[in-house]
Amino acid sequence: MSSTLTISEPHLRHNVAAARRILGDTELLAVIKADAYGHSATLCAPLFARAGLSWLGVTDAIEGAKVRQALQAAGFSEGPRILIMTAPPGDPGEAKQAAELALTHGLTPIVTSADQLPTLADAAAHTPHTLPIHVEIDTGMTRQGLPPGPLFQTFVYALRRYPKLRLDGICTHLASAECTDAFQSLDQIQLFGTSCGYLCAQSAFMPPWRHLGNTSTLDNASLAAAEIIQHFAFRTEQAGAIPMVRCGLGLYGYSLPLEPNAPREARLRRQLYPILTWTTTITAIEEVPAGARIGYSATYTASDPMRLALLPVGYADGLRRSLSSTNEEPGGWVMIGPLRARIIGRVSMNLTTIDVTHIDCAPGTPVTLLGPGITAEDHARLANCLPYEILCGLRATHRTILPDGPATIS
Q: What is the pLDDT of residue 334?
A: 98
Residue range 348-388, pLDDT digits in tens: 999 999 999 999 999 999 999 999 999 999 999 999 999 99
Q: What is the pLDDT of residue 263?
A: 83
Please tell me the pTM assigned to this model: 0.95
CA distances, 117 to each of 124, 125, 133, 344 (Å)? 11, 12, 10, 55
Q: What is the pLDDT of residue 407?
A: 62
Lowest mean pLDDT of 113-117, 222-226, 260-264, name the range.
Answer: 260-264
- Bridge partners of 171? 136, 211
Exposure string for 293-324, b = 16+ CB within 10 A, e = fewer: ebbeeebbebeeebebbebbbbbebbbbebbb
Q: What is the pLDDT of residue 262?
A: 82
Rounded distance between C-alpha atoms, residue 336 and residue 349, angstroms: 22
Percent of the chain with pLDDT over 70: 98
Q: What is the pLDDT of residue 148?
A: 92
| Residue 12 predicted with pLDDT over 60 | yes
Closest CA to 309 of 276, 340, 349, 278: 340
Residues in the chain: 410
70 vs 403 pLDDT, higher one: 70
Backbone torsions φ then ψ of 68, nearest 5 degrees: -60, -40
Rounded distance between C-alpha atoms, residue 99 and residue 94, angstroms: 9
Residue range 301-328, pLDDT digits in tens: 999 999 999 999 999 999 999 999 999 9
Q: What is the pLDDT of residue 200?
A: 84
Average pLDDT, the chain: 95
Give 16-19 contacts, CB < 8 A, sequence gap 24+.
16/48, 16/51, 16/52, 16/53, 16/251, 18/250, 18/268, 18/271, 18/272, 19/218, 19/247, 19/250, 19/251, 19/268
Tell me the one-letter amino acid at 250. Answer: G
- For 77-139, the DSSP string reads SS--EEEE-SPPPSSHHHHHHHHHHHHHHTEEEEE--GGGHHHHHHHHTTSS--EEEEEEE-S
Residue range 31-45, pLDDT digits in tens: 999 999 999 999 999
Q: What is the pLDDT of residue 405?
A: 62
Do 294 and 345 contact (CB within 8 A), yes or no?
yes
Do 140 and 188 contact (CB within 8 A), yes or no?
yes
Rounded distance between C-alpha atoms, residue 364 and residue 362, angstroms: 6
Backbone torsions φ then ψ of 162, nearest 5 degrees: -125, 80
Q: What is the pLDDT of residue 260?
A: 87
| Residue 162 predicted with pLDDT over 80 | yes
| Residue 406 predicted with pLDDT over 70 | no
| Residue 410 predicted with pLDDT over 50 | no
1: Cα separation from own chain's centroid: 26
Rounded distance between C-alpha atoms, residue 243 and residue 230, angstroms: 10
Lowest mean pLDDT of 119-133, 198-212, 300-314, name the range.
Answer: 198-212
Percent of the chain with pLDDT over 90: 92
